[in-house]
Amino acid sequence: MSKHIHLVSFLINSPINHTVLSWAQPGDNRLDALHDLRLWQDLARTLERGRFDGMFFADTPGVFDRYRDSHEDAVKYGVCWPSLDPVVLLSALAAATTHLGLATTMSTSAYQPWTIVRQLGTIDYLSGGRVGWNIVTGHLRGEHRALGLQQLDHDRRYDRADEYMEVCYKLWNSVKPGAILADREAGVFADPAKVEFIDHAGEFFSCQTVAPVPPSPQGHPVLFQAGSSGRGQQFAVSHADVVFSIQPNIAGMKRFMANLAEAAQAAGKVTPGVSFGIQPIVGGTEEEAKRKLADLVEKLPIDGCLARLSGTMGVDFAGMDLDQPLAEIETQASQGLMKAFANIEGDRPLTLREVAIRWGLAVGKPQIVGTPEQVASEMERVWRETGCYGYNVTPTVMASSVTDFVNEVVPILQRNGVYRTEYEGKTFRENLGL
């Protein structure tokens, strides 16, 4: 278990974060934020005031186009469309903050290793070492169709990603200590003997060059990963500093952590810390918080929820019986999904409708609903019981749900001695305790 709870804000640069139609909620500012950089900077400053480790952007390149084999429902309801580039935001957010880590998802399908090393390395260098990269192999059909790429099988994507990381490590290690001289008098910027030329020729990648960016104070960006399959966890324990996971309850969290520890042991690696996704919903009273949740659920369009679920799972759920238990629907994807969702309601299996609503509400993340004291208490309980590193905290209504959490929940966690009152270091890696 970590010394204290670590918190990362979990966002998407689109009309919603993880709640379908949240942009239509009264007071939500997300539509304005899509074209007003200052609102993102204000949010970053709020998170830094709340001593969050980082501000993390998931990404959905392309469009959700599985449901009804069409993009129309995703576009109609603004389900992660438009999908604006989160990487572009990071420099502006770095300029508005001093300590806050800044992380984004970048797909190994969409970018070459050199491009990611250059883009993220530039921001990491400029910010003094405050950048992180969530490594994904790219599972969305919409991403591959948008880029004109052939989609590899699941395990094959991870084989390719392993070699991808091999190239990244070579580039990150290309510039040796003492390489940068910046000697004005001699007119020598760098010692070529300390800048290694990379000559990589592998099964998937060829790269002959030197690193495009000098290393930042933290060496290279903090690496995050969210692999949940057996092959995905093998990849995670080999490369990730922190693993993200979405599990609907404590039983699922414990199961995930046990499986990850087993994978790490088998690989002879140290088990990375695990950060679980949650969606806090805070009210002045428990009844008020429950009403906020009910308002969100009441506005969820089922077709928008199914567009999100179908896109994520790679299965078109159109025409299927919404009130049939998902475990009984014969699709390969539903079996894996039910491993996480089977025991949410005791032994009662969830129907497709219920799973779609949960997916549309928070992409499977559990809600922690109640007063600030109740939310803080439950977060501490889960942290202690699971031994997790902390949480990826996704908001609902922007930006009020973030402000409420920072103003009302964070001080309680601090008073309870389970959350920092000041940042420990200057880099993302230092503040994460890595």
Residues tagged in the binding site annotation:
59, 105, 154, 158, 228-229
The position carrying tokens 């994978």 is 263
Three-state DSSP class for residue 6: strand
- Please state the residue numbers annotated as binding site for FMN: 59, 105, 154, 158, 228-229
Beta strand 206-209 pairing with 273-282: unpaired
Alpha-carbon distance 144 to 127, whole Å?
32
Name the β-bridge partners of 367: 279
| CB 225, CB 135: distance < 8 Å | yes
CA pair distance 392, 379, nearest whole angstrom: 12
Q: How far apart are CA 426 and CA 120, in angstroms?
A: 18
The b-or-e profile of 310-329 (16+ CB within 10 A means b, else e) is bbbbebbbeebeeeebbbeb
The number of CA neighbours under 13 Å toward the Cβ of 243 is 29
Q: DSSP labels for 125-176?
A: HHTTS-EEEEEE----HHHHHHHT-PPPPHHHHHHHHHHHHHHHHHHHTSB-
